[in-house]
Structure 1
Amino acid sequence: MATVTHLDETHQNPRRWWALGALVASMLVLGFDTTILNVALPTMAGELGATTSQQQWMADAYVIVFASLMLPAGLLGDRFGRRRMLVVGLLIFLAGSALGSLAGDVNWVIAARAAMGVGAALVMPLAMSVLPSLFGPGERTRAVGIVSAASALGLPLGPIIGGFLLNHFWWGSVFLINVPMAAIGVAACVFLLPETSDPASPKVDVLSTALTAIGLGSLVYAIIEAPDRGWGDPLVLALFTVAVVLVTALVLRERRARRPMLDMELLTHRGFLLNTLAATLVMFVLSGLLFVLPQYLQAVLGNDAFGTGLRLLPMMGGLVIAARTAQPVVARFGARAVVAAGLVVLTFAALLGSRTSVGDGYGFTALWLSIAGLGFGFSVVPSMDGALGALPADRAGSGSGLLMTTRQVGGAIGIALLGSLLAGAFRDRLDVTGLPAPLGHTAGESVVAAHLVAGQTGSAHLAASANASYVHGMGLVLMVCGVAALATALLAAALLPNAPVERRTEGNESPAVAPATADAGQ
């Protein structure tokens, strides 16, 4: 590191805790921005006339860019200065948020979310990678825990903050809230963080970055457009073909590279591969659920945005409880048993939720949401810990980068695939008999649009059909989630290694913490 000769002095600097506060603020913003848009989507769908596929793009534009650029962004920080690139990331995030708050149509919102994804891709790995320059081994575990907790705390805060803002201001406020937070982060980074770099890190591979972004974007685009155009549509088939070709080219290129940006050889470590798959599936299910649930809570059950945010808390509560207790449970029963059991619990919750009917109140939803949160926590924490624990210490950085990237990809595909399944099921089941063709088409775009058409035409039948159709589609989504979780549970129980994790990084940190402290050469 460029500042290695000054590390001892930095570790004793009392400003390091103020600097940690700046990083906490940055991670909070990224955390709640992951979920804040979910409660806003029904409102934005009504005011902007967004279809289900456009809502998917509003959510996915951020996640796709985030996933595609995280690895090269970390390398940029290594080579050109982590503080400098962290500030750049926060400024891009701020600009994207400001653009989103002023957007007047769906396309501008999608563009703003993509810009925010660029900023987030810089902030996430670099906020973690500067911690070793601020804290010595004795304090680093505590500092990493605080930053990680801030990131996790942002998830349940997102729906609550978003709901409160939507109840008191216009929908653009869910973007505007990021501006002062990001500005504070920029000022704090400039005045409090030391500059560090690692010029010896691998160079950013522009071609590999382009293959990742375009390949992933093509795959998600095809999945989102398929329900409207049909799975056999020439454009959809062409997009799937492009995705396969580009991802294959990426794998071949990275395997031949002397110092690959995306270290594919890590996937030959069985423990890393299987744990990464488990963690990615959990993100697939979690992202899909957070996409479909707010519309059910608002459009079908009739809650306002703030009430919707509050009603998502049982899942977040279960997730937090499980995440805090997972480590001692793993120590007692072993990672394989805990991951498999967590996935079985998730399976039960999803299949229970798939039995939801239009007449069920919120109590039933709260029950299976709480169980789902427990399943999420008990499966994702040990699987992430096991993934990094399966690697040699000198591969923790690249391993954590690959793990974080695949989790983001899982989230993007979850929104696209499960959202598309929901859209197709809703449209096929919706009864638009007696409506003029244009109104019938509009009603089929989303449950929010169907309720708007029902209000305009005074059709109680259409409103009831919209609710029944949406609940049916949500049930299918939950059933798919349950089947996928059960299949993964069986694979985990049969194949996951169960040996206790022996590897520790500097300062005796656990592998769950290791990715956070590793340099962003991920």
Structure 2
Amino acid sequence: MTFSSVAEAPTLTGARRFGVLSALCLAVLVLGLDTTVLNVALPTLAADLDASTSQLQWMANSYNLVLAALLLPAGMLGDRYGRRKIIAIALTLFGAASLACALSDSAGTLIASRAALGIGAAMIVPVALSLITVLFRTPEERKKAIGFFVVANSIGMPLGPIVGGLLLDHAGWQWIFYLNVPIALIAAVAVSLLVPESRSASRPSIDWPGIALSSAGLASLVYGVTKAGERSWTDSTTLTFLALAVVLLAAFLVWQRILTSRPTGEPLIELRLFSERVFTGSALLLTVAVFAIFGLLFTMPQYFQGIDGSDALLTGLKLLPFIGGMTLGAKLADPVEARAGTRFVVTIGFVVMAIGFALGAFTDLDTGYGYTAIWFVVVGFGLGCSMPQAMNAGLGVLDPDRAGSGSALLQTFRQVGGTVGVAVLGTVLNSVYRSNVDTEGLPAQAADAVDKGVGGGLAVADKTGSADLLDSVRDAFLTSLNTTMWVSAGIAVVGAALAAVLMPKRAAKASEEALMGIPQDR
């Protein structure tokens, strides 16, 4: 049985077009918020739910693990069963899981509910992106729509601490999750009423072995990388799960190649996409961009709260220049690309990011917020220039029949980049801090608390009244922060080099046949 993308995806005009884009952007904005909003609530959750440190970590990691593991099969669901139907179901599930999180009365229940949130999120992201690909027909319209989508998807992360801090100050931690319920409901209704149904012209079969291998492999990778951040890269558990991830993902690629070689085979991902230099470049650049940006999102909240003495709400507000820079970069990138080309814009975007991180590497105790705001704007501007254009270039090689699975593949790279970024940059931050902080003369328990991080170090210094320890903790953290910023700058330079090699002078536009949903010869 086949379905026509043409018949089921009519051209959108006027207010309906704006309504569709607004609904999709609202949905992914909520997902971005949920990625970081929990961070500011962890101390409160530890007290209210009597949660251990390990349980607190899994409140965040259960969401990330499920999200990364299910992105690939979730994209296929939209292609097979209908994108409007799947995203409406996903938003409903996300709202219900948010309600379950808010009503949780134990750490275990909250961890399980957060995992359910990850299921909904995994279904929303690739299907929303594929809807943009098939509903906005002309290259110019699609590029603008993707720009709005990427900004909405990205600003949710830095907005999370602001929203979380505001709700914690005036309500309770439960409202961090209650907030999602009406937003998910509004988005689900808007999608159901405004978005025309679309699906693949040839209904893809379900690759169950591929789903099992990819999900298990990505879950093992995320778990192993998370454990590396918690313990070390040489820890036995870390090495076991990373090795398992390599085996499972290698088996997945072999299985996909076998299916591709069969006349009637329908693999979960199309390996031929990686023969497209533009698609491969887009996937790598999304990974590198998100990897680098966590140098700011992971370290600076700790600096503001631990060194600068800001509360949760003020910490979130201090991240606003980053959002402003990113929005400005995304706005200016389109006209510049029209004149100078895709390769120029994406490469320069990564160079600007590297400059911003290099400026951040000179942060010290006397640094004023004005200086910090400037380099936040610079980093955000570079991200806004590079990420939407790189993503649009990758989507440009997708035909509507595989828009869901292809966009899911791009989002998987993006999600894994963020997870690996947190683990790697967290390892850099912690190892440099531990090697520089002076715990000589402290009792073993106090020394262990100081070694765990700047929060524990400041608490011990305050309890003991030791000015020398306070200075040591601050200096050690600033040294580790500066090192992390230099690493992020280096990653951005790598991104610039990759963009110069892998991005075309001008990203190829999808053919009119592909944009209109006519199946292409493969």
Q: TM-score, normalised by structure 2?
A: 0.84
Q: Using a 3 Å threshold, how does the CA distance of structure 1 residues 274 and 125 change in structure 2: closer, same or farther?
A: closer
Write out aligned runs for 1:397-436 (5 A). 398-436=405-443
Match of 1:486 among 488, 493, 505: 493
| Ranges in structure 1 where 5+ consecutive residues have no aligned partner | none
Structure 2 distance, partners of 1:435, 1:271, is: 55
8 A contact 2:25–2:148 mirrored in 1: yes
Structure 2 distance, partners of 1:118, 1:231, is: 28
Structure 2 distance, partners of 1:499, 1:167, is: 49
2:207 matches 1:205 = yes
Counterpart in 2 of 1:172? 174
Counterpart in 2 of 1:496? 502
Counterpart in 2 of 1:220? 222
Q: More displaced, 138-147 or 17-26?
A: 138-147
Structure 2 distance, partners of 1:282, 1:132, is: 22
Structure 1 distance, partners of 2:468, 2:111, is: 33
Q: Using a 3 Å threshold, how does the CA distance of structure 1 residues 457 and 49 change in structure 2: closer, same or farther?
A: farther
Q: Using a 3 Å threshold, how does the CA distance of structure 1 residues 455 and 163 change in structure 2: closer, same or farther?
A: same
Query: Is the partner of 1:220 in helix, strand or coil?
Result: helix
Deviation per CA, 1:156-181, whole angstroms, max 9, x where unpaired?
54333222212222333322211222
Write out aligned runs for 1:38-437 (5 A). 38-40=39-41, 57-103=58-104, 108-129=109-130, 150-152=152-154, 154-189=156-191, 197-198=199-200, 200-226=202-228, 229-257=231-259, 258-389=265-396, 398-437=405-444
Q: Using a 3 Å threshold, how does the CA distance of structure 1 residues 146 and 499 change in structure 2: closer, same or farther?
A: closer
Counterpart in 1 of 2:262? none
Q: Using a 3 Å threshold, how does the CA distance of structure 1 residues 317 and 505 change in structure 2: closer, same or farther?
A: farther
Q: How many aligned residue pairs are there?
A: 512
Structure 2 distance, partners of 1:101, 1:94, is: 11
Paired amino acid for 1:31: G
Paired amino acid for 1:297: F
Structure 2 distance, partners of 1:486, 1:190, is: 43
Paired amino acid for 2:217: G
Structure 2 distance, partners of 1:84, 1:391, is: 21
Structure 1 distance, partners of 2:199, 2:165, is: 40
8 A contact 2:51–2:107 mirrored in 1: yes
8 A contact 1:30–1:154 mirrored in 2: yes
Q: More displaced, 399-408 or 57-66?
A: 57-66
Q: More displaced, 73-82 or 415-424?
A: 73-82
Q: More displaced, 39-48 or 426-435?
A: 39-48
Paired amino acid for 2:414: R
Q: More displaced, 236-245 or 423-432?
A: 423-432
Paired amino acid for 1:504: A
Q: Using a 3 Å threshold, how does the CA distance of structure 1 residues 392 and 452 change in structure 2: closer, same or farther?
A: same
Q: Using a 3 Å threshold, how does the CA distance of structure 1 residues 197 and 242 change in structure 2: closer, same or farther?
A: same
Q: Report the alpha carbon displacement of residue 373 of structure 1 after superposing the two structures with TM.
A: 1.0
Paired amino acid for 2:95: L
Q: Using a 3 Å threshold, how does the CA distance of structure 1 residues 227 and 377 change in structure 2: closer, same or farther?
A: closer
Counterpart in 1 of 2:477? 470
Q: More displaced, 119-128 or 312-321?
A: 119-128
Query: Is the partner of 1:444 in helix, strand or coil?
Result: helix
Q: Using a 3 Å threshold, how does the CA distance of structure 1 residues 150 and 392 change in structure 2: closer, same or farther?
A: closer
8 A contact 2:93–2:120 mirrored in 1: yes
Structure 2 distance, partners of 1:9, 1:346, is: 39
Q: Using a 3 Å threshold, how does the CA distance of structure 1 residues 56 and 277 change in structure 2: closer, same or farther?
A: farther
| Ranges in structure 2 where 5+ consecutive residues have no aligned partner | 260-264
Structure 2 distance, partners of 1:106, 1:518, is: 50
Structure 2 distance, partners of 1:499, 1:407, is: 23
Structure 1 distance, partners of 2:378, 2:141, is: 33
Deviation per CA, 1:460-514, whole angstroms, max 9, x where unpaired?
4444433333222222221211112223323433x235332342355998xxxx9
Q: Report the alpha carbon displacement of residue 108 of structure 1 after superposing the two structures with TM.
A: 4.8
8 A contact 1:298–1:304 mirrored in 2: yes
Counterpart in 2 of 1:37? 38
Query: Is the partner of 1:409 in helix, strand or coil?
Result: helix
Paired amino acid for 1:63: N
Deviation per CA, 1:172-223, whole angstroms, max 9, x where unpaired?
3322211222233345556666655558332333332332233223233333
Q: Root-mean-square deviation (CA), in Å?
A: 3.8
8 A contact 1:354–1:476 mirrored in 2: yes
Q: Using a 3 Å threshold, how does the CA distance of structure 1 residues 223 and 464 change in structure 2: closer, same or farther?
A: farther
Q: TM-score, normalised by structure 1?
A: 0.84
8 A contact 1:83–1:190 mirrored in 2: yes
Deviation per CA, 1:101-152, whole angstroms, max 9, x where unpaired?
3446665544433221111111223345556898887997587776666445
Structure 1 distance, partners of 2:139, 2:343, is: 30
Structure 2 distance, partners of 1:323, 1:105, is: 42
Q: Using a 3 Å threshold, how does the CA distance of structure 1 residues 446 and 111 change in structure 2: closer, same or farther?
A: farther
Q: Report the alpha carbon displacement of residue 404 of structure 1 after superposing the two structures with TM.
A: 1.9
Q: Using a 3 Å threshold, how does the CA distance of structure 1 residues 59 and 379 change in structure 2: closer, same or farther?
A: farther
Q: Using a 3 Å threshold, how does the CA distance of structure 1 residues 451 and 91 change in structure 2: closer, same or farther?
A: farther
Deviation per CA, 1:73-102, whole angstroms, max 9, x where unpaired?
232234344444333322322233234334
Paired amino acid for 1:368: W
8 A contact 1:222–1:236 mirrored in 2: yes
Query: Is the partner of 1:419 in helix, strand or coil?
Result: helix
Q: More displaced, 371-380 or 131-140?
A: 131-140
